[in-house]
Structure 1
Amino acid sequence: MTEVSSLTGRLLVASPALADPNFDRAVVLLIDHDDEGSLGVVLNRPTPVGVRDILLPWAGLAGDPDVVFQGGPVSLDSALGVAVIPGDEGPLGWRRVHGAIGLVDLEAPPELLAAALGSLRIFAGYSGWGPGQLEEELESGAWYVVESEPGDVSSPEPESLWRAVLRRQRSKLAMIATYPDDPSLN
């Protein structure tokens, strides 16, 4: 197998042609990407479930909206915490993924991280791809790969993140942000 260039920390932005309803207009932060597969969380799928309803100790640290996000279709009964922590060193209970973005150990006492957290999102489930699967989807044009920004993790308007991420691109991708929700209505 050929070596995979890591996309860890990058965003996958669903192309309008992506047919999987789990990823319609999804923005996925890749937390891990190597020759063994890929794992990420969908940043723009808030649920009506409050963080305090499932992880009360972390509720006061969750960003706005303080709800659980559906990270993807895999293992919806598990939770992942993603936080932005500025600076070079992160606290105990946090593992850097890319830049200021990292994973939170939700088993750790929240007090360990409270002072350092810039923002926190809780995700139920995740998005996963087996070896070579994501590369095939990229080759078929299902996803656009773009750089992430720390603010993507904590966007106060997650429903508009797909358009916002595309709009900030300095390429023809910015035009795709104007793609209608239902092209048949044009």
Structure 2
Amino acid sequence: MDYKSLLFNIDIPSGHMPAPGALLVSEPFLHEEYFNHAVIALVEYEPNGGAMGVVLNNVSDYSLQDLVEGVTVKEPIPVYCGGPMAADRLFFIHTLGDIIPGTQPLGNGLWIGGEFDPMLSIINDRYELEGNIRFFLGYSGWSDGQLEEELSRNVWAVSPMSGSGHELLKGDGDAYWHRAVRSLGTDFRGWLYHPQNPMVN
């Protein structure tokens, strides 16, 4: 599938089937390395087919300066771990719209991808990145029917993108997951009482 051929402006009520532009919020006992207390933005979804997304809140040990030549900003720019697949490939989500050639709408004022040279110029002009631009190594993927099977086991809660795109690109880690769970409503309140690391409970 080619995400550039898709439109992503779809609102999905919590508990409904996923679609491009929705969020997947991991259940609290999912302790797999990449998905423990993860919030994933779905980029591609085909019912009973494959799916692709990026984990929004899992910051990696890399900075953009480690991975890309030509970044003149001195302060380290964080790179997030988008998932276990294609871990040598860089993705970016942003609020800049189509001033980045080749970008595609993701919903709620967010856009994905596009030409990197214009993005690099914006970075080097010291544009505010927090809440506007986020970089990811790798992505999360599901084979045909796999995501539906996981949803049937309540591995994920499906949520529309709530709040502004700027808010979705702020924060990280466990606090980000807690914020996403609170947005799911009272039915998911019990999830909030399970720590990311059960050994600290």
TM-score by length of structure 1 reads: 0.79
The answer to whether structure 1 residue 105 and structure 2 residue 114 are counterparts is yes
Structure (1 or 2) with the greater strand fraction:
1
Deviations 1:15-55 (A, max 9, x none): 02335332111111111111431100011111121112212
Matched, 1:169 2:184: yes
Mapped pair 1:82 → 2:93: yes
**1:1-186 to 2 correspondences below 5 Å:** 7-35=19-47, 36-57=49-70, 66-85=77-96, 90-91=98-99, 92-110=101-119, 119-149=132-162, 150-183=165-198
Query: Secondary structure, in 3 states, of the residue corresponding to 1:175?
Result: helix
Q: Deviations over 1:114-145 (max 9, x none)?
A: 78x86111100000001111011001111111
Instruction: Find the residue that maps to 1:124 and give its secondary structure.
Output: strand
Distance 1:177 1:6, change over 3 A: closer
> For residues 167 and 99 of structure 1, do their structure 2 counterparts lie closer, same or farther at Cα, with a shift above 3 Å needed?
closer
Shift of 1:69: 0.6
Q: Is the contact between residue 15 and residue 143 of structure 1 (CA under 8 Å) also seen in structure 2? A: yes
Look up the SS of the partner of 2:66 in the other structure: helix
- CA shift, 1:77, in A, is 0.5
CA offset digits 1:53-107 (Å, max 9, x no partner): 21245675xxx9821111000010111111123xxx6222321122311112244
How many residues of Structure 1 are paired with residues of Structure 2 in the alignment? Answer: 176
Q: Return the alpha-carbon distance in structure 2 between the equivalents of residues 39 and 59 of structure 1.
A: 32
Q: Is the Cα–Cα contact under 8 Å of residues 36 and 196 in structure 2 kept in the other structure?
A: no
Root mean square deviation of aligned Cα = 2.9
What TM-score, normalized to structure 2? 0.74
Structure 1 pair 176–99 and aligned structure 2 pair: CA distance change class (3 A): same
Runs of 5+ in structure 2 lacking a partner? 1-16
**What amino acid is aligned across from residue 69 of structure 1 in structure 2?**
Y
Structure 1, unaligned runs of 5 or more: none
**Counterpart secondary structure, 2:79:** strand
Judge which range, 103-112 or 67-76, deviates more: 103-112
**Distance of 1:58 and 1:110 partners within structure 2:** 10
Name the CA distance, whole Å, in 2 between partners of 1:57 and 1:144: 40
**Aligned partners of 1:162 and 1:177 also within 8 Å:** no
Q: Secondary structure at the match of 2:19?
A: coil
